[in-house]
Amino acid sequence: MSDDGSIVTREKIESYLALTAEARAKATPSTQSDEDATRLASMMRMCDDYQSDARHFMEEGDLVRAFGAINYAHAWIDAAVRIGLMDGHGDDRLFTLP
């Protein structure tokens, strides 16, 4: 096993799943309208769906797709924080802050 980060491993995917779950739990809605709340709900559904896909692909042994899916899941949360639909509470480890 390589420690240089160039190999997609089950452990790496599991660590990204945990990081995304941490981000999902930390970020809180900061919507200002019903329309924004609806947009945020759609974004978080996408996040949850991609997390589920990542787990599925990992269990099937398709680690490359699992890695892609979990990164895409995290991007949905990160985008919601970045555009102001969620508050990342100043955590620049979990989010790309505005």
Domains in the chain: boundaries:
10-87
Pairwise CA distance, residues 75 & 70, whole Å: 9
Taking the CA atoms of residue 57, residue 62, residue 68 and residue 70 in that order, the dihedral angle to the nearest 10 degrees is 40
Pairwise CA distance, residues 13 & 71, whole Å: 9
Confidence of residue 5 (pLDDT cuts 50, 70, 90): confident
- Give the SS3 label for residue 87: strand
Query: Which CATH superfamily, name and number, covers 10-87?
Result: AF1782-like (1.20.1270.90)
Question: Is the predicted pLDDT of residue 30 greater than 80, yes or no?
Answer: yes
Give the mean model confidence (pLDDT) for residues 4-31: 94
Give the mean model confidence (pLDDT) for residues 25-40: 97
Question: Is the predicted pLDDT of residue 64 greater than 70, yes or no?
Answer: yes
Higher pLDDT, residue 5 or 60: 60
- Chain-centroid distance of CA 79 in Å reads 10
Per DSSP, which regions of the chain are E strands? 28-29, 86-87
- Give the SS3 label for residue 86: strand
Residues 6+ apart with CB under 8 A from 80: 27, 40, 43, 44, 86
Confidence of residue 18 (pLDDT cuts 50, 70, 90): very high
